[in-house]
């Protein structure tokens, strides 16, 4: 049952029934926030420079693996 379960009066079946739902909601919320921050950084770089490729590189913080540039 754990150290926290007894003092709070949480039974083993109650913990298992709501814990996955709570964890899924927290993980989904964090991933949505991260996506918004990345997209806003990309837009900020695009507004500043006007180069979409460079904005994505700078906004995501990673250089391209190997992308051939059209000439």
pLDDT, tens digit (0-9, with 9 covering 90-100), for 10-67: 766 655 677 788 889 999 888 888 888 889 999 999 999 999 999 988 888 876 555 5
* Phi, psi dihedrals of residue 61, rounded to the nearest 5°: 80, 20
Q: Is 9 within 8 Å of 24 (Cβ atoms)? A: no
**How many domains, the chain?**
1
Q: Specify if 3 maps to a domain.
A: no
SS3 of residue 65 by DSSP: coil
Q: Specify if 2 maps to a domain.
A: no
Q: To the nearest 10°, the Cα dihedral for 60, 36, 31, 28?
A: -160
Q: Specify if 53 maps to a domain.
A: yes
Q: Specify if 34 maps to a domain.
A: yes
Q: Specify if 67 maps to a domain.
A: no
Q: Specify if 32 maps to a domain.
A: yes
Please give the residue range of the domain that contains residue 25.
Answer: 9-60
Q: Is the pTM of this model over 0.85?
A: no
Mind listing the pLDDT tens digit for each residue in 19-31? Answer: 788 889 999 888 8
Q: Which helix (H) or strand (E) holds 5?
A: helix 5-8
Q: Specify if 65 maps to a domain.
A: no
Q: Specify if 20 maps to a domain.
A: yes
């Amino acid at each position: 049952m754990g150290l926290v379960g007894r003092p709070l009066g949480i039974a083993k079946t109650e913990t298992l029934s709501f814990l996955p739902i709570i964890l899924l909601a927290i993980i989904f919320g964090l991933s949505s926030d991260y996506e918004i921050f990345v997209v806003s950084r990309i837009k900020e770089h695009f507004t500043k420079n006007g180069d979409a490729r460079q904005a994505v590189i700078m906004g995501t913080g990673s250089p391209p693996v190997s992308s051939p540039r059209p000439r």
